[in-house]
Amino acid sequence: MSPDLDSPVQTQMAVAVFNRTLSSEYHGNKKSEGKPAGRRRVFVQTDTGCVVAIELDRGDNAHTVKRRLQLALNVPIEESSLTFGDRVLKNDLMGVRNDSPLLLTRNFLHRSSSTPCLSPTGRELQQRDQSGPIEILGCSSQCLRTKQLVKDVVKAIKNGVEPIPVHSGLGGAYYFRNSRGESIAIVKPTDEEPFAPNNPKGFVGKALGQPGLKRSVRVGETGFREVAAYLLDYDHFANVPPTILVKITHSVFHVNDGVNYANSKVHDRSQAVSKIASFQQFIPHDFDASDHGTSSFPVAAVHRIGMLDIRIFNTDRHAGNLLVRKLLGGTGRFGAQTELIPIDHGLCLPESLEDPYFEWIHWPQASIPFSEDELDYIANLDPVRDSDMLRMELPMIHEACLRVLVLSTIFLKEAAAFGLCLAEIGEMMSREFRGMEEEPSELEVVCIEARRLVAEREVFSLEAEPVDEDVTQFYIDCEDAEPAMPNVPPSYNFGFKGGCSRNLLSKLEESLEEEEINHNNEKGSVEEFTCFPPACDRFTNVSKLSTSLKGVSLTEKTPQYLLCVPKGNDTTVRTNNSGSGLQSGSRSAKEQLPASTSFVNLADMGEEEWGLFLEKFKELLYSAFRGRKCGAGGQRQWQRLGASCQF
């Protein structure tokens, strides 16, 4: 048999090529035990889901790793990139820790079933992978609870207890059981997410690393977000089930025929497949929040989950993502009749501001003021510490996600200190719809204004400083083509295409789109993603169009501006008219629209500019909150309460 290593089912053999020392049941927190100093193991995942474990020596660099991958996968080095979060690994592997997942992408993406396969070579590949069925990727003290679960699952697998595929949801998910046959964990492989190559429910079509269901969350990256939500849930305040990232091997996992197999080979379903996946404790429950009236939900539980959702900018808190467990001897309305368990945090921490989705916004509990304990918890939140912790625990996380975390945590802290309730804060973060037009949220309007003020200040300081001719020429060129973005790391430039702020993701989008164009050869369907004006122009537009927020109700938004909205296969530039008004609250209308509009970019700022931006942001918040208290907010609140009293 000539195996194809592009397919995860061949992982076992690929791993054997590189493993020299792996032989434990699972490695979990034994990260560096038994390894000579400088030795690390990494898991390289190809863009079609194949997972390859590689032992690194002190002398290894990105080139030598790719050389070894070339041998195993038959992929030319110059046509592939090795990435780790924001970093495209060019040379040294500093910062790549033991058990880190890396992504190997082909620079020229071919997505058709005729994709040349990455084929393994060599007879030694026939050896077995010696690593355990479950390997924990990174592990802090917080994963102690989950380690026992991992052990129980491994034992059950060895005893032949089969996992059960989960039928609900859009992505592939599996209940793993203990030796008594009880479900104890839910495992969601990253290459089975919606749109990912091995999605078992028909939602395929993208490679790992490309924009996904939400364009600001890349395919294959929901797993580490699930872990981030758990790690940020200090003191188990919101009740997020313990979650870790694992490399897990089992034959139950799904591999789509035709995606990973050249020459129409058929996947042997009895063969074990290795995947990178989130592994979450299974919580026995009675129903989810969509099945039941909300009156039995304790105020504190709703508040705690809401606070978490705001911090992590959750774009997917629909009622199905709140499990409900009935408690005996509950005390009635808003009493402790039920326990809420928030799940499915794969679409939190987007790389740019999106429209969040907070189901609880419509619940009366969200309009009850925060308790003293809750206010204390919020006051003690520290977004810088949170970001540092996530960088440490999940080094693959994008800086752009951390900016969203910092911004929304500051927003929560300032809003709660001002006296706003959960529903008001959630509403200020949510976009409005008028007809089919989407408008920026109040939070986004503040951000747009803060960026304008920062840009203005930069213009002044440029005017004040004597500049040499080369620099002047640089800015002239920039005005012609691109915004001036000093110190901008390329991968920070999320959201806008065209110009010097193009990022990896936008390039990927472009290559995908170009490919689609080639593929379909549709006349006139050329996607113009460059319709967003370059940043310099954008600032001018925003400054022309956005009235100063000082002393003005922030609910009176930018009167008119341009935005770029990709609509399926074409992108339209449209003019938005806005003014104050009531939120339509119609999710169904929302869902018909492309959920990809980016009104404000946080990721393209250099460090200094970002610091300045946060200062301006905080300064503007007070008037925004006052506007909310005195303006349209009250009216909306009545509407919300009137619509949601479903007891």
Ligand X SMILES: Nc1ncnc2c1ncn2[C@@H]1O[C@H](COP(=O)(O)OP(=O)(O)OP(=O)(O)O)[C@@H](O)[C@H]1O
Binding site for ligand X (CB under 6 A): 166, 168-171, 173, 186, 241, 280, 282-283, 320-321, 323, 343-344, 346
* Residues pairing with 562 in the sheet: 575
Compute the least distance from the CB of residue 200 to ligand X, in Å: 10
Q: Which is nearer to ligand X, 346 or 534 (CB)?
A: 346
DSSP, collapsed to helix, strand or coil, labels residue 86 as coil
Q: How many CB atoms lie within 10 A of CB 596?
A: 20
CB of 102 to ligand X, least distance (A): 24
Of all residues in the shown chain, the one whose CB is closest to ligand X is: 169
Q: Which residues pair with 571 in a beta bridge?
A: 566
Q: Which residue, 205 or 490, is less far from ligand X as judged by CB?
A: 205
Asked if 374 contacts 303 with a C-beta cutoff of 8 angstroms, the reply is yes
Minimum distance, C-beta of residue 271 to ligand X, in the bound complex (Å):
24
Identify the residue whose tokens are 């495992």.
187
Which of 250, 268, 286, 240 has the alpha carbon at shortest distance from 177?
Answer: 250
Q: How far is the CB of 258 from ligand X (least distance, A)?
A: 22
N residues, the chain: 647
Cβ 289 to ligand X shortest distance, Å? 11
Nearer to ligand X, 265 or 318 (CB): 318
| One-character DSSP codes across 487-555 | T--GGG--S--SGGG--HHHHHHHHHHHHHHHHH--TT----GGGSPPHHHHHHHHHHHSPP-TTS-TT
Q: Which residue has the tokens 């000093």?
A: 486
For residue 259, what are the contacts with CB-CB under 8 A and spacing of at least 6? 48, 113, 197, 198, 204
Closest by Cα among 637, 436, 443 to 557: 443
Return the number of the residue (354 or 604) whose C-beta is nearest ligand X: 354
CB of 165 to ligand X, least distance (A): 11
Q: Partners of 189 in the beta sheet?
A: 277
Q: Please write down the HEC assignment for all residues of 43-85.
A: EEEECCCCEEEEEECCCCCHHHHHHHHHHHHCCCHHHEEEEEC
Instruction: Count Cβ neighbours within 10 Å for each residue of 94-127 and write b for 16 or more, e otherwise.
Output: eebbbbbbbbbbbeebebeeebebbbbeeeebee
Nearer to ligand X, 60 or 316 (CB): 316
Please state the φ and ψ torsions of residue 543, each to the nearest 5 degrees: -70, -35
Q: How far is the CB of 323 from ligand X (least distance, A)?
A: 6
Q: Which is nearer to ligand X, 280 or 503 (CB)?
A: 280
Identity of the residue, 282 or 418, whose beta carbon is nearer to ligand X in the bound complex: 282
105: β partners: 81
As given in the structure block, the two tokens for residue 193 are 């997410």
Single-letter residue type at 410:
I
For the record, the structure tokens of 251 come out as: 């034959």
Beta carbon of residue 280, minimum distance to ligand X (angstroms, whole number): 5
3-state secondary structure 537-591: HHHHHHHHHCCCCCCCCCCCCCCEEEEEEEECCEEEEEEEECCCCCCCCCHHHHH
Taking the complex as a whole, the smallest distance from the CB of residue 149 to ligand X amounts, in Å, to 11
Question: Which CB sits closer to ligand X, 71 or 170?
Answer: 170
Instruction: Output 290 or 472, the one with its CB closest to ligand X.
Output: 290
State how far the Cα of 592 lies from the Cα of 495, in Å rounded to an integer. 21
- Which is nearer to ligand X, 16 or 348 (by Cβ)? 348
Distance in angstroms between the alpha carbons of the first and the last residue of the chain: 63
Identity of residue 134: I
Identity of residue 304? R
User: What is the closest distance, in whole angstroms, from the C-beta atom of residue 321 to ligand X in the complex?
Assistant: 6
The answer to whether residues 79 and 283 touch, using CB atoms and an 8 Å cutoff, is: no
Rounded (10°) angle between helices 372-379 and 399-418: 140
Least distance CB 180 / ligand X (angstroms): 17
Pick the closer one to ligand X by CB: 356 or 483. Answer: 356
Q: Name the amino acid, one letter, at 339.
A: E
Task: For the CB of residue 408, give the shortest distance to ligand X in the complex, in Å.
Answer: 21
Query: For residues 105 and 210, which CB has a smaller minimum distance to ligand X in the complex?
Result: 210
Q: Which is nearer to ligand X, 274 or 280 (CB)?
A: 280
Return the number of other C-beta atoms located less than 10 Å from residue 560's C-beta: 14
**Shortest Cβ distance from residue 252 to ligand X (Å)?**
15
Closest CA to 325 of 358, 282, 362, 359: 282
Give 171 or 495: the residue with its C-beta nearer to ligand X: 171
**Closer Cβ to ligand X, 88 or 164, answer by number:** 164
> What is the residue-wise DSSP string for 148-192?
HHHHHHHHHHHTTPPPEE--SSSS--EEEE-TTS-EEEEEEEGGG
Q: Are 354 and 216 in contact (CB under 8 A)?
A: yes
Residue closer to ligand X, measured from CB, 166 or 595: 166
Nearer to ligand X, 325 or 618 (CB): 325
Residue 101 beta carbon to ligand X: minimum distance, rounded to whole angstroms? 19
For residue 227, the minimal CB distance to ligand X (Å) is 13
Minimum Å distance from CB 369 to ligand X?
A: 30
At 453, phi and psi to the nearest 5?
Answer: -65, -40
Taking the complex as a whole, the smallest distance from the CB of residue 169 to ligand X amounts, in Å, to 3
